[in-house]
Structure formats: structure tokens, C-alpha cells
Amino acid sequence: MQRLNTRDPGFDAAFRRLVSDRRESGENVAHDVSRILSDVRSRGDEALAELTFRFDAHSLSKDENWQISKDACREAFDDLAPDLRAALELAAERIRAYHTDQLPADRDFTDEAGVRLGAKWRSVDAAGLYVPGGRAAYPSSLLMNAIPAKVAGVERLVVITPTPNGEANPLVLAAAHIAGVDELWRIGGAQAIAALAYGTKRIAPVDVITGPGNAWVAEAKRQLYGVVGIDMVAGPSEILVIADGKNDAEWIAADLLSQAEHDPVSQSILITDDPVLADSVADRVGVELAILPTAKVASQSWNDHGVIIEVGTLDEAPALANALAAEHVELAIDDPEPMMQAICHAGSVFLGRLTPEAVGDYVAGPNHVLPTGRRARFASGLSVLDFMKRTSFIQMDDRAIAAIGPAAIALAEAEGLPAHARSIELRLGI
């Protein structure tokens, strides 16, 4: 774990290195993914079967091994313990309510020149959702991806998830039932992304692919952007906690480890103006790791990428936070509102000491699929808009084209495009 202090002479250089550290896939991953995509595009289901057996030890030799039925998903939901079923239903209800409020409104108006203008929002026809199934299986991720798609109006919702050794996580199946998933395929990795993008004999292509995955999945989405739409190229998880000395070190340590346990290359950062809290949190992380079942992963993340930054005053924190543009930002301070207003770049912000990031992963309502790797500077979390597209429209009568047509003719002629100008001139009788 790295300790930095803004008052140290070498801080600026050290902080620049921290900001520029991408912690993402290298050229070897890009090359491997390119080969997998090409293989699936040329050989389709045959390539999928070979790769699924190689990476997941799951045979697709029989037709029934390819998909998980809706009946199986319903049975998994029915078999859940009542408290777990209620938790999933609460999460789904809150996610659905939040994303329903995101639905955009169509526009249709006539301006002063008499030109009718507007835009119509429509959903994509089909969406593919990736749900991890390797290091951990996440029913919450399925809900966070599937429910916004359904709210947007997507008619065909396809989930792809690896099933190592043929074993599917019953919680993922139950979440698929709650969300109303139409197809659930037992494939994962870059090959699954390729199948959704290009289509195979068994799997029809989709228009948009969303959902988090490992480095190979992220790289496959990056390479296939343009063939299909994607939500984002997601990297390892991140959390930035900004805390004053009034905090309980145990709480803050737990918050930092909540992201460290995701992946060995996840990153957890604490910014504080209290050196006593900094020391206490560093000590408490060690205590928490000693009792944490996911300590192997969390320890590697914390030891290799964890950072504690001491500042002279928390007034310095927003500038540092904006430079980091972290996926998750917790403001564990008395009055978080002014600081939230000063932080322009963050995937999601959690206000106050009683709002841990982990609640946002499950039941708060806003989406937990968020930009990483400083992409919060220009990108947003997953929303219904990722499953929709906007079509503008224009309508003119004689008065309207007479009002604005001559200006269009002048611009077309200036650009050396006489056919453009003539198409307008003919309507004006010029």
C-alpha cells in the first residue's frame, strides 16, 4: 500500500503516476481476443463449442447444453430462501423505479420560421447482457443490466454467462426470471461477445452489448464497437473515500476492501486530512483482511494498488478527486453537499457516513455499471439511454423553406456542393 502526502516534495510526481496507472489489459490480451473474434466469426457455433470446453470445461455437444430454460430460471427463483427472494425483489423494484424515471421524452415543436422539428426515442430491437461467472457470479449485475433494457422497451433480451464445469449459479437464474430475460446462453469470455455481435446459426445477433467482465471481455467489446453498440470499456473496480477524522476507522477500512475483494487489480484510495485516521485505517485494513474470506484477492489489491493520501485540508480533495475521476466516490464528512458540487468527475457519489458504496451495488436504485479508468471524465453509468436511440425529424411548408432555404443554398455553394444547392433551389423556384 502506498502512502502519499500533499506536503511532501515528491507528491506531484507520485500523484501523476497514480493517475496515469491504467491497471488494464496489455497487447497480449488484445492479440488473443482478436484471434478469438476472428475464429467465432468464421466458424460460428463450432468455435464456440471448442472454446467453451477449453475455458469452462463445459461441453456443448448436446443441444440442451447450450441454453438454460425459462422454466429452470423460474424454479431457481421458487427455490430461493424467502429472505433472499425478498432481497432480489426489493433490488429489482428499486432499480426499475429509478430507471423508469430516466426515460426520455419525445420532442415535437414548430419554431418561429415555421419549421417543425423534433425527435423520437425508440429502443434497440435486441440487447445482449454479459454476466460474469468465473471468479464470482453476480445476480445484481444481471438486474442492473436487464431491468434498464426492459424499461427502455427492448423486445429481445439475451444473457450470456459462463457456466464452469456446467454449473450455473441459481441466484443468476433467479435474477433472470425476475428481470424477464428471453434467452440465457451458457457461454462466456470474448467468444460470447463475438457470438452476440456477429451472430451464429444458433444465436441471432444483437444491437447492443452491455455488462462487466474480465480483461478479455472488455477487450472484445472494445474491438467490436461499431459492429454493435456497447455500454463502455470497463476496467478494474475503483473506490475513492474522502474522510475526515470523525470517522470510524473500521467502517472506512471495510469500505476500501469492498472494492479490493473484486479483483487483484482493483484500486482503493483514501484521502484524509487526519493522520491519526490514516494510520488507524491502515492498521484496521490488516485486521479486516485477517478475517475476510476473500482476503487472498483483497490483500493483493490493497498491497499492490491501495493508496492513502494525507492532505493539509479537505479543501484539497475535490481537485485530487477530479484528477482521479474514480468509479465510486464516498464523501464521509459532515456536510458532503458542497464537496459533491465541486467534484465534476465521478461515476457515482455516496454522500455521508451512513452511505457505503456497497449499498449502491445492490438496492439503492442507480446503476452500478460505472465508468472506470478515469473514463468518468467523459462517460456515465449504464442507463436506459444505452438501450435506446434518438431519431430527429424535420418538416417544412412553403413559408418555412422560403425562410431558411436561401441560407442553406449559400452554405452549399460555399462548400462546393452544387447538387445540395440545386435540390433546395428547385423547391424555391430559383
158 lies in the same domain as 46 = yes
d(CA 263, CA 366): 22
- Within a domain: 115: no
pLDDT of residue 271: 98
- Within a domain: 188: yes
pLDDT digits (tens, 9 = 90+) for 169-204: 899 999 999 999 999 999 999 999 999 999 999 999
256 lies in the same domain as 201 = no
pLDDT of residue 135: 47
Q: Place 136 in a pLDDT band, splitting at 50, 70 and 90.
A: low
Among 50, 330, 379, 76, residue whose Cα is nearest residue 210: 379
- Within a domain: 134: yes
Q: How many domains does one find in the chain? A: 3
**Active site members:** 327-328
pTM over 0.75: yes
279 lies in the same domain as 187 = no
- Within a domain: 389: no
pLDDT digits (tens, 9 = 90+) for 352-378: 999 999 999 999 999 999 999 999 999
Residues 382-402 have a mean pLDDT of 97
CA dihedral 165, 170, 173, 174 (to 10 degrees): 180
CATH number of the domain bearing residue 209: 3.40.50.1980
pLDDT digits (tens, 9 = 90+) for 271-282: 999 999 999 999
Q: Place 232 in a pLDDT band, splitting at 50, 70 and 90.
A: confident
pLDDT digits (tens, 9 = 90+) for 1-27: 899 999 999 999 999 999 998 777 666
* Structural domain containing residue 293: 2-24+235-364
pLDDT of residue 25: 60
pLDDT at 317 over 60: yes
pLDDT digits (tens, 9 = 90+) for 28-71: 889 999 999 999 999 999 999 999 999 999 999 888 899 999 99
Which grid coordinates are listed for 321?
478527486
48 lies in the same domain as 192 = yes
Residues 221-229 have a mean pLDDT of 96
